Structure 1
Amino acid sequence: MASILKDIWNRLSGGGSTGEREEPAAEAVEYKGFRIRPAPYSAKGGYQTAGVIEKDFDTGMKEHRFVRAETHPSKDDAASFAIAKGKQIIDEQGDRVFR
């Protein structure tokens, strides 16, 4: 379990398990003053739902990384779902997501 979490963290923080960096799935999407950057990665024959929510504050930019259990057959499907999940997180938590 620890190695799975470490692999997820490495992928989200820019390091891949193979040392190669994947191309971004899609451009960031603006939503209610936040930016949602989909960041799906290859996992178990599909693509894992993952992304980053960002917002600029007077003190600088803050970000919240998220990974969900859902996998998708294509990177584009996973990116679209990550955007939908990011919007849901923003709607439910707003700025509290950065605490």
Structure 2
Amino acid sequence: MSVQVDLRKSGGALDAASVVDPDAVPSVDRRSRLWLELSRAYAQQQDWLGTLGSLRTGTAVSEKSMRCHPLARSLAAELVTHGGRLNERESRALAARLGVTA
């Protein structure tokens, strides 16, 4: 999934994610990273609701991992500026939770 996102093939990343069982990933850090990569794929498609949902889920899995990861913090800031009025309140709350001042 990460490779697909890095190659900017978000559709392939979303397809790959559809066959992964997040609960089967034993490491909490890797599980949160899975959700972060999914967030990146949604952001590439400018699907801000998908980005918010997956970033929020990754934060619920491991807030510490997400707070420490520059990509998570960057996506949170991007959600605040580009996510639209529908997501604004939740985006700002998530950004604050990750230590991003927006």
TM surpasses 0.5: no
Would you tell me which structure has more helix in proportion to its own residues? 2
Q: Scaled by the length of structure 1, what TM-score is found?
A: 0.27
Would you tell me which structure has more strand in proportion to its own residues? 1
